[in-house]
Amino acid sequence: MGLRFLRNGLLGLYLQRHHQHIMQVDTGFTFILFGGTGDLAMRKILPSLYQAHCGGLLPTAGRIAAVARGLSNREAYVQWMHTHVRNHVKLAGDDASWNDFLKRILFVRVDLGRPEDYALLRDIISPLSGIRVFYLATRPSLFVPICRALSTMGLSNDARIVLEKPLGYDLQSSNTINDAVGEIFVESHIYRIDHYLGKEPVQNLLALRFGNALFEPLWRREWVESIQITIAEELGVEGRGDFYDNTGALRDMVQNHLLQLLSIVAMEPPHSMHTNALRDEKLRVLRALKPIKPCDISRIAVRGQYHMGVLNGITVPAYVNERGVSTSSMTETFVALKVEIENWRWAGVPFFLRTGKRLANRVAEIVVNFRAVPHSVFGSMALRNGSNRLVIRLQPNEFIRLYCLAKQPGEGMNLQSVHLDLAFDEFFQKDRMEAYQRLLLDVINGRLALFVHRDEQEAAWQWVEPILAEWNRLGTAPRRYAAGTWGPAAASALLARHGTCWLEEEN
C-alpha cells in the first residue's frame, strides 16, 4: 500500500535547503588522502570520489593526492587502483570515465614518521589552486603528528581536515587529540566524520519530522512507548583483530554511531537547517542523557562476545580465535543498552540501543513504538503486536514503513496489521548518493551540518565512560552468544522487563 500522504513533500524541506543537488563550486580543490592504500580508501573514499566525478559533481580542476609509503610511484598507485578500487565502485562506468578520473590522481610516497618527507608533499601540492582538504584515514595515534607536520610545512593555513573515528580511546585521549588539532585548525575547518549521518534515511528522518505535520505532534512521551535503534553486522573483525581487541563495540559503535542516531531521533526542532542549529539540538540531547550509575549497569547494559556458530550456512570461528585477538580476550562484540533522556519531551520513554558483530542479519534500523489506543472498541485485537509502529530502515534496503491496523475483507470486524511503505528504490528512480560521497562533497563545499562538533563528542564520551569504568572494575567476562544469532539472551530479557521485545522477535 503506497504511503501517498508522505510522498508529497517528505523530502522537500531538507533537500531544498541542503542539497539542491550538491552545488558545484567553481574553484578547484586538492584532496590529500592520508592512508591512501588503506581499507577505507579502497572501499569507500576513492569509489565515492569516482562516483562524484562521474556525476559531474567535482570541479574539473580538482586533484586527489594519495599519501602512502607502501608503493614507489604514481604508476604503481594507479595499478593498485585498477586492481583494488574499481571492484568497489557501485556503478563502474566505462573505461573512458575511469581513465578520466585517474587523471586527477597524484601520489606522494611519505613515511608519516619522517617529518622531512612532508617537504615532498608540500612541493607537489603547494602549486595547486583552490581549497585544500586533508583526509586522515589513518590510526588515531597519527592524527597529531600529521597535523603538526602539516603546520610546520605551512600546509595547514585555511585548509580543512577530516578526522575518522575512533577519535581517541576515552575522553582524555579524545581531548588530547582535539586540543592538538584545534591548535592548528579552527573548529569550523575540522570535519569529524560519522558516515551514518550521511545516509539518506537518516536525513529523511529530519524531513519526516520537521517537514510534515503528521508525525511531530506524536513525537513525544505522551504517544511514544519506546524506541529501538539497532546496528547489526554479520561480519566479524575482518582482519582487524589487533585494532578491535583494544576497542570493543561500546567504543566502536555506541559512542559515535548509535548516540548520533539517538540524538537525531530525539532532538527538538531546530530553528533552521543551519549547521549550528542542527548541532546545538543534537548536543542538548546528548547532555540530557540520564547518567548511568555503576550500581545500575548490570541491569541496563548487556555486553556479549560471539563464539563459534553457523552464519549463512558457514561455520565461523569464535571471536577469540580470530587473527589478532587474544585467546583470553574479554572485549565485547555486542552491546545492548537501555537509555533515558531527562527532558520534558522524552521523560520516562526507554530508548533501547543494540549493536553487535556476527549477528543473524546485517541491518540498521530505528523502530518507534507508539502507545496503544487508550480504549479499544475492537477488543484485544487492536492491541496486538505489529501495529502503531514506525520503522526507518537505514540498511540494507532503505525504507520508511508505518504499521497500523486495517479491517480484513469479509464478514465481521477482524483487524490485521498492515503497513504503508515509502520504498526509496521504487519511488525515487534516480540513483541515490552513498553516505561517503555526500559527506566528501560536503567537505569540499564547506558544509558542516552532517559532521560532529567537538562538544557532541565530549558529551558522548562523558556518558559512555562510567560504563567502561564499571566493566573494567568488575572484570567479568562478556556473555557468550553463538555467531548467527541475535546476541545474548540477556538482551531480550532487557526489553522483556519493560513489556516489549526486539522487532525480529515478534515474528
282 annotated binding-site participant:
no
pTM: 0.89
**Cα 111 from chain centre:** 30
Task: Return the C-alpha torsion angle 369, 373, 377, 380, nearest 10.
Answer: 40
Pairing, β 334-339 against β 351-356: antiparallel
Say which CATH class 197-374+454-501 falls into: alpha beta
* β-bridge mates for residue 86, sequence order: none
Q: Peptide bond before 396: cis, by omega within 30 degrees of 0?
A: yes
Domain ranges across the chain: 7-196, 197-374+454-501
pLDDT digits (tens, 9 = 90+) for 93-140: 678 899 999 999 999 999 988 888 899 999 999 999 899 999 999 988
Catalytic residue selected from 257, 271, 453, 498:
257
257 tagged catalytic: yes
Using alpha carbons, select from 353, 322, 316 the residue that is nearest to residue 338.
353
What pLDDT score was predicted for residue 413?
78
62 in Cβ contact with 104 (< 8 Å):
yes
Q: Is the pLDDT of residue 341 over 50?
A: yes
What does the mean pLDDT of the chain come to? Answer: 88
What is the DSSP secondary-structure string of 35-54? STTSHHIIIIIHHHHHHHHH
165 labeled binding residue: yes
Residues 337/301, Cβ–Cβ less than 8 Å = yes
Is cis: bond before 294, omega within 30 of 0? no
Type of residue numbered 366: I
Residues whose CB is less than 8 angstroms from the CB of residue 29 and which lie 6 or more positions away in sequence, other chains included: 58, 59, 61, 62, 63, 130, 131, 132, 133, 444
Q: How confident is the model at residue 205 (pLDDT cuts 50, 70, 90)?
A: confident
Q: Is 69 annotated as a binding residue?
A: yes
Q: Select 7-196's CATH number: 3.40.50.720, 3.40.605.10, 1.10.150.120, 3.40.50.300.
A: 3.40.50.720
Residue type, 93: G
Q: Is 290 annotated as a binding residue?
A: no
CB atoms near residue 497 (< 10 Å): 12
The span from the CA of 477 to the CA of 327, in Å, is 13
Residue 88 grid coordinates: 568497489
The SS3 assignment for 348 reads coil
User: pLDDT value at position 189?
Assistant: 97
357 carries a ligand binding annotation: yes
Which comes out higher in pLDDT, residue 10 or 463? Answer: 463
Please write the tens of the pLDDT for every residue from 446-501.
Answer: 999 999 999 999 999 999 999 999 999 998 999 999 999 999 999 999 999 999 99
How many Å apart are CA 104 and CA 98, to the nearest integer?
10
| Residue 380: per-residue pLDDT | 64
Position 24, amino acid: Q
Examine the pLDDT at 2 and tell me if it is beyond 50. Answer: no
Of 411, 390, 385, give the one whose Cα is nearest residue 401: 390
Backbone angles phi, psi at 206, to 5 degrees: -65, -45
- What are the φ/ψ torsions at residue 260 (nearest 5 degrees)? -70, -45
Q: Which residue has the cell 543537488?
A: 21
